[in-house]
Amino acid sequence: MLHRMLRKRRCLLAGFLITMWVPACAFGEQQSFRLEQSDHGKKLVTPDGRTVFQYMTQKPEVTNLSANSTCCLYPLLTPKGVRVVDLAPGDHRHHRGVFLAWHAMEFADRADFWGWGAMAPTNKRKITNREIRLLKSNSQYGTLLIRNDWEIDSRKVVDEQLTITTREKNSIYLIDLEYLLTPTENMTLDESAFGGFCVKSRQDGKRAFFGPQGEVQRPKPHHLKPDTDWPNAPFYDFTFTLNDGTTAGVSVVNSSGNPPTRWHNLISIAMINPCIVTEGPVTIAKDQTLRLKYRLIVHDGQRPDDPSLLGRE
- Across all residues in the chain, what is the average pLDDT? 92
From the list 148, 190, 188, 176, the residue with the least C-alpha distance to 275 is 190
Alpha-carbon span 106 to 148, nearest angstrom: 19
**Model confidence at 96: pLDDT above 50:** yes
Rg of the Cα trace of the chain? 23
The gap between the terminal CA atoms of the chain, to the nearest Å, is: 64
Architecture per CATH, domain 31-304, reads as Distorted Sandwich (2.70)
- H-only helix segments in the chain: 2-21
Tell me what pLDDT residue 30 has: 76
Mean pLDDT for the stretch of residues 262-280: 98
pLDDT-derived band at 311 (thresholds 50, 70, 90) equals confident
In the chain, % of residues over pLDDT 90: 87
Residue 289, CA atoms < 13 Å, CB-side half-sphere: 10
For residues 147 and 4, the model is more confident at 147
Over residues 181-229, the pLDDT tens digits come to: 999 999 999 999 999 999 999 999 999 999 999 999 999 999 999 999 9
Whether 104 contacts 189, CB under 8 Å: yes
Give the lowest-confidence range in 8-17, 162-171, 270-279: 8-17
Q: What residue ranges do the domains of the chain occupy?
A: 31-304
Tell me what pLDDT residue 2 has: 43
pTM here?
0.91
Over residues 6-65, the pLDDT tens digits come to: 455 554 444 444 444 444 444 456 799 999 999 999 999 999 999 999 999 999 999 999
Name every residue whose Cβ is closer than 8 Å to that of residue 270 and which is 6 or more positions away in sequence: 86, 200, 201, 202, 203, 207, 238, 240
